[in-house]
Structure 1
Amino acid sequence: EGAGVTTTRAHVHYVVTEYGVANLFGKNCQQRAKALIGIAHPDHREALECAAYKRFKNLY
């Protein structure tokens, strides 16, 4: 019937939201986080930046 699909984060090239497009191809985790935060809903960006800072210790 069906089969599971496994993919890695490296397979994602673009993420599109109503707030923009993030090109993730060839970027490391910190760069990906920064790009994704940039296209997140404005109400959530501050919380996402805090979480990313805790995870990476240096986002920008």
Structure 2
Amino acid sequence: MFWKVLGIIVLVWLAFAVLGTVIKGLFWVAVAAAIVFGIYWLVKSISAGDQRDLTKL
């Protein structure tokens, strides 16, 4: 019983370690994507003229 509990704790710890590394690595990719999308949205809204429907890409 002790080894089962210890094995589960180790597996959960490894899962959190891997998940944390992936999230930390992808955070800056998500930030860059949000900035690029924001710039795209801003340019499209300025150059749209009369067609200022920002809900459509």
TM-score (norm 1): 0.24
Higher strand share: 1
When Rg is computed on C-alpha atoms for both structures, the one with the higher figure is 2
Q: Which has the higher contact order (CA 8 A, sep 6+)?
A: 1
TM-score (norm 2): 0.25
Which of the pair is proportionally richer in helix?
2
